[in-house]
A and B are shown apart, each in its own frame.
Chain A
Amino acid sequence: MLNDHLEEWFGLPVEAATADTEFEPGTKVYRFEFSYDNEDEDPRETLAAFLDLPGVEKTVAIILGNADEGGSDTTYDPFLDLLEQHKDRLPNLRGLFLGDVTQEENEMSWIKQCDIARALRIFPGLEELRSGGQDGLGFTACRHIGLTKLIISTGGMPKEVLEGIAGSVFPELEHLELWLGTEYYGLTATIEDVTALLNPALFPKLKHLALGNCDFQNEIAAAVADAPLLDQLESLDLSMGTMTDEGAQPLLSSARVKKLKHLNLHRNYLSVTVAAQFQSLGISVDVGGQETPSTYGGETSYYVAVGE
């Protein structure tokens, strides 16, 4: 997550698109982005040209990368406008990624986002929606019967987005991945908003849940540890956050956690001892990459993996 471009999607290799690209819509996935290599090219024009190509119907997925040189004002709305105008030419579109931007390209918190649920309204056949970045991020509640995977990466999750998801109907959703971030970069969602998502009736087919990169990772651990939702999950991911030994205790003592196939607690603040306790739970766990808190002026600080 977060630092690499998606390199492969739906079994197809991803390639950055330029005005000179010779497109092969059915065999590659293209990422449309502002390019430092060709500054004068507008990625919207490249996308528009792509959408007019013969054979564009074969397109399986589209990735939108850095919309402009970091810090400016382009959101993904004008791209979605284009996609909406051409939606009949994309009958096989299964995946859409808004904001595949690495930290080398822009700050997570500065990526200009939009109401990403709009993509679901445009494409009823979509299976997978991903987004990165949070400036202006919204999610209007909606009903979508095809969506199986939803991934929203932020350095600070707006409350409205979790409310929108909780108010949505996604009967086929199997994979929900939410990177919540820190209050310093726009996290306004609370533990109550997160808890609302743990209702098993909400997404009956959910198999994988990630609630990570969070300032209140301990509270999430406590809320999730004995949630009935766990009984239907195969894997739980609470990585990249600020979980401490103490915060991890409810997970260690939960009978439900022991029934998971995989538990990911990568890059939190667990001690070697507690990490080892997880490793002896008898399920597959990832407890690598643990951090140690920084102390400054007598204050101990815990940071999420990605805020800014």
Chain B
Amino acid sequence: MKPFALIANPENQRARFFTEACRCCGLPDPQVLPWLEVLRPEFPLEEHLNSAGALRIDSPGQNFAVERALIALGSGRAADEGKWPCLSEVEAERLTEDRGRVWFQRQWYHGWHTIMQRLDSAIHGTGVRSMNAPAELSLLFDKVTAQARMEAAGLPVSPGLGVIRDFDDLELQMNRRGMHRVFLKACHSSSASGVAAITWDGRDRWHAVSTGLVTQAGESLHLYNSRRLANLHSPEAVRLLVNAICRERALAERWFPKATIASRNFDLRILVIGGRAAHTVVRTSRSPITNLHLLNERGDLSAVRSRLGPEKWAEAMLTAERASACFPGCHHVAVDLMVSSSLQSFCIAEANAFGDLLPRVEWLGMDTYEAEIRAFLPQ
């Protein structure tokens, strides 16, 4: 087979892992097409795809120049929409890195959507086989539409309050629905960026646990990602946090109380490859937010499995598989599945386009990238 074309950030470990996985499968090294190049309008995308055996699109994350280019690319649509903070193309190109800062995510999404459309037509034009369909990669980066699609398919997702404008809107919506515990999530972010678990006693007490740290710079609020969770107890602090997250376009959904194991909350990250639940990781935390990059620990998979019992375990895997089937153009989807504290039911927290970076996790003796390639290759 001709080599894969891999769209990725070449300095990122994902590119290295995929190269190693290709070697494992007896394939030539992939031809890496750096995101920064792909995002240039004059980049000869079709030419590269014509000479490729297949295409894999990997995460654009952890590279500020790429983030900036995507924000710049989204400037037109963002200005047309006019609802969220936005920069002109020139302004975006002048952005300098502010480490951990969460900003212009809606505009970033417009850029992402634009490049996905471009990739989509290039794929159709060249007929190259792609591991993941750009249209669905675009959709998976909008939690509102991704959740709606899963809900429409009858899958368990948490009841949502929709897109929230600001703190006052959140309070109003929570009051209207009699919902006192919610998760607020930035719609276009990946991992746990811009997430807050919020509780309200229906009167004047608020509490929030968040991955976001808000600093006030004059009139404006700056939101940063933090590995150390912020614990906010005053209504004023919660208000600032909610307002800052809502500027990125955020949705609220009911806080689904997660099951615990060994005094830690957990959920399951289930990588579904070619429709089949494969690599599974137990993500645990003492906090409500279980994402692993927050220095949380992986939990004991066999303990969870025996707690659930064979029937419930099978139901968990099936639920993840059904969730991935909502995105049939994606050869692999990573589903975050919560188990209720009563151990009776499941709820999908999220479906991730690039949730397959799970180093050292094996399934049938294969790491994630190798398993994806083997399942993708014609038998």
A308 CA / B345 CA spacing, docked (Å): 27
Residues 266-299 of A at the B interface (beta carbon under 8 Å): none
In the complex, whether B343 has a CB less than 8 A from a CB of chain A is: yes
Are the CB atoms of B178 and A69 closer together than 8 Å?
yes
- Interface contact A71-B341, CB-CB below 8 Å: no
CB pair A72 B256 closer than 8 Å: no
Question: How far apart are the CA atoms of A2 and B178 in the complex, in Å?
Answer: 26
Stretch at the interface among B85-93, B134-142, B259-267, B362-370: B259-267
Q: Are B260 and A72 within 8 A (Cβ)?
A: no
Give the nearest-CB partner of A105 in chain B.
Answer: B257
Q: Are B288 and A104 in contact (CB under 8 A)?
A: yes
Measured between beta carbons, the chain B residues less than 8 angstroms from A102 are 257, 260, 265, 341
Chain B CB within 8 A of A246 CB = no
Q: B262 — nearest CB in chain A belongs to which residue?
A: A4
In this assembly, does B298 line the interface, its C-beta being within 8 Å of a C-beta of chain A? no
A105 and B341 form a contact (CB under 8 A): yes
Least Cβ distance of A281 to chain B in Å? 26
Inter-chain CA distance A293–B41, complex, in Å, is 53
Contact: B264 with A3, CB < 8 Å? yes
Q: Determine the main DSSP class of A at the interface with B.
A: loop
Q: Are A69 and B179 in contact, with the CB atoms below 8 A? A: yes
* B-facing residues in A25-73 (Cβ within 8 Å): 31, 33, 35-37, 66, 69-72
Q: Which one of A5, A16, A107 contacts B199 once the chains associate, using CB atoms below 8 Å?
A: A107
Contact of B340 among A4, A36, A69, A107 (CB under 8 A): A36
The number of chain A residues with a CB under 8 A from chain B is 24
B165 is an interface residue with CB less than 8 A from chain A: no
Closest to A73 in B: B202
**B262 surroundings in chain A (CB, below 8 A):** 4
B201 adjacent to chain A (CB < 8 Å): yes
- Taking A3-B264, A5-B341, A308-B233 as contacts, is the C-beta distance between A72 and B257 under 8 angstroms? no
> Is B181 a contact of A69 with CB atoms below 8 Å?
yes
- B residues with a Cβ closer than 8 A to A are 178-181, 199-202, 205, 207, 231, 233, 254-265, 286, 288, 340-345
Additional A-B contact list (5), CB under 8 Å, known A36-B256, A110-B199: A18-B342, A35-B344, A70-B255, A104-B258, A107-B207
17 residue pairs from A and B, CB less than 8 Å apart: A3-B264, A4-B261, A5-B260, A16-B343, A31-B342, A35-B340, A35-B344, A36-B340, A36-B345, A37-B345, A69-B178, A69-B180, A70-B180, A102-B260, A105-B341, A107-B207, A308-B207
- The 7 lowest CB-CB distance pairs between A and B, nearest first, are A71-B180, A16-B342, A104-B257, A37-B345, A3-B263, A71-B201, A105-B257
Residue numbers of A with Cβ under 8 A of B are 2-5, 16, 18, 31, 33, 35-37, 66, 69-72, 102-107, 110, 308
